[in-house]
A = this chain, B = another copy of it.
């Protein structure tokens, strides 16, 4: 049986002031009508109904998350006392699901990605599940077919096809590579052999546990020790105990890059990880004058701005390449190529006594 494992642990710093510690990106409506986590759950519903979803998220905003997903039972939401990156989160879900169903398949999906082509994504998810069912002991990762020489993502180099050919061909992974510089990214794009590392995976719970045992034995052991408490009244205390001794590490660094049984299914589904304000140029509407806007925006000879003003009129005169984000209690104006400094700004705000606005 295939289960959806939704990783909802993001901290909400990069979309400040729209996102806050207690209202991270995945709990916000960034595109469309739903919050990102609602969209993630609903997107896979035709294949994975609500009762087979597990969500792992930060304890500080777990109540709001449960409000947004009233269809999930208490047992389907796991709270992390602190973020420890993706490997511990995946280990928790893997042990929880394997204890319940030794043949459980996990579709691991971040809660804060945008997928434009939902039908194509679902078809790919089916192919991935079938592949894992028929090719035991493999870990499958979705690779995004790149459409530009992006330097902000890691890449996956695909090798031999697993079998057959065609648009839904699954490949053996030959290599994971870190974020490249621009010339390297351009050569990746030209080669056709490199996909963006999406951070979305399909595997059997038992197989990822085997891989965790091999590549991250301390982590695997720590979670195994507390796994019998998952779903009990002692769950929160048990997770806290395990997490106290766990080093943060991503599943990519900890497992995928080391494993030799990784498959990649390239997909072309209008995907966006919405990693910072600047990425919204690919997600939000244009105002017809070169600005990307949400809310009421009137501009005079201004272009290439990204403006979020859902609560009131925002006006621009003669400006360009700005990110403007208005919220009821904080306003941010940022040069577009400085979007990564939103984090640095938050350090300053902390020092200046504005912690309540973070």
Contact = CB atoms under 8 A, between A and B. Distances in A.
Contact of A326 (B17, B331, B342): B331
Nearest to A339: B317
6 contacts: A313-B357, A317-B334, A317-B345, A324-B333, A326-B331, A333-B333
Nearest to A317: B334
Interface stretch (A20-28, A82-90, A256-264, A346-354): A346-354
A305 B84 CA distance: 40
B349 A334 contact: no
Contacts of A324: 331, 333
Contacts of A357: 313
Nearest to A312: B329
A338 to B, nearest CB: 4
Interface of A: 17, 298, 300-301, 309, 312-319, 322, 324, 326, 328-335, 337-338, 341-342, 344-345, 348-349, 352, 354, 357
A342 B315 CA distance: 10
Given A17-B315, A317-B342, 13 more contacts: A300-B344, A312-B329, A313-B329, A313-B349, A313-B354, A314-B332, A315-B332, A315-B345, A315-B349, A316-B332, A319-B333, A324-B333, A326-B326
Contact of A330 (B315, B335, B342, B344): B315
Contacts of A335: 317-319
A309 B334 contact: no
B315 A338 contact: no
A83 B162 CA distance: 81
A354 B314 CA distance: 11
A326 B330 CA distance: 10
A294 to B, nearest CB: 14
Contact of A341 (B298, B314, B317, B322): B317
A312 B338 contact: no
Contact of A313 (B300, B314, B330): B330
A309 B354 CA distance: 15
Contacts of A319: 322, 333-335
Contacts of A331: 309, 312-315, 324, 326, 331
A17 B342 CA distance: 27
A331 B300 CA distance: 14
Contact of A316 (B301, B329, B333): B333
Q: Of A17, A317, A322, A341, which is in contact with the most chain B CB atoms at under 10 Å from its CB? A: A317
Contacts of A309: 331
A282 to B, nearest CB: 21
A91 to B, nearest CB: 37
A300 B330 contact: no
B334 A318 contact: yes
A328 B326 CA distance: 11
A341 B300 CA distance: 9
Contacts of A328: 312
A109 B330 CA distance: 39
A218 to B, nearest CB: 39
Question: Which 3 pairs from chain A and chain B are nearest by CB?
Answer: A318-B338, A318-B335, A317-B334
Nearest to A313: B330
Contacts of A332: 314-317
A93 B247 CA distance: 80
A261 B330 CA distance: 56
